Amino acid sequence: MRHWLRIDNNLFRVNDTRFMIEFSKSNILRHDSERSCTYSEVTHAMILNEIPITDIDDSDVISRILPLVRECTYELKC
C-alpha cells in the first residue's frame, strides 16, 4: 500500500506498507517505510539525474529520489 503526498512548492512524502506472509512460521511481517523531503530538493535531484519534470506526478519515480526517513518491520502472529 502506498500513501503519496505532494504539496506544491513545499514537500513530498511517500509512506509504503508491505505485508509478507511466512507460511512455514504462520506469521505475517509488516514493513513500513517513510520517505520525505522538500519540493526544491526533489526538483534539484530531478535536474541532476536528468529526470523529466513531467515525471513529478509519478510516485514511483519520486520515491526513488526521496531519502529514507523511517523504516520499521513488525512481526504479526497468526
- Count up the domains in the chain and report the number: 1
In this prediction the pTM is 0.84
Strand ranges of the sheet holding 27-38, from the earlier edge strand across to the other edge: 2-7, 11-22, 27-38, 68-77
If you average pLDDT over every residue of the chain, what do you get?
Answer: 94
pLDDT in tens, 39-51: 999 999 999 999 9
pLDDT at 26: 81
The residues near 23 (Cβ < 8 Å, ≥ 6 apart) are: none
Which of 25-29, 54-58, 72-76 is least confident?
25-29
Share of the chain above pLDDT 70, in %: 99
Q: Find the domain containing 37 and state its range.
A: 2-77
pLDDT at 48: 96
Whether residue 78 has pLDDT greater than 80: no
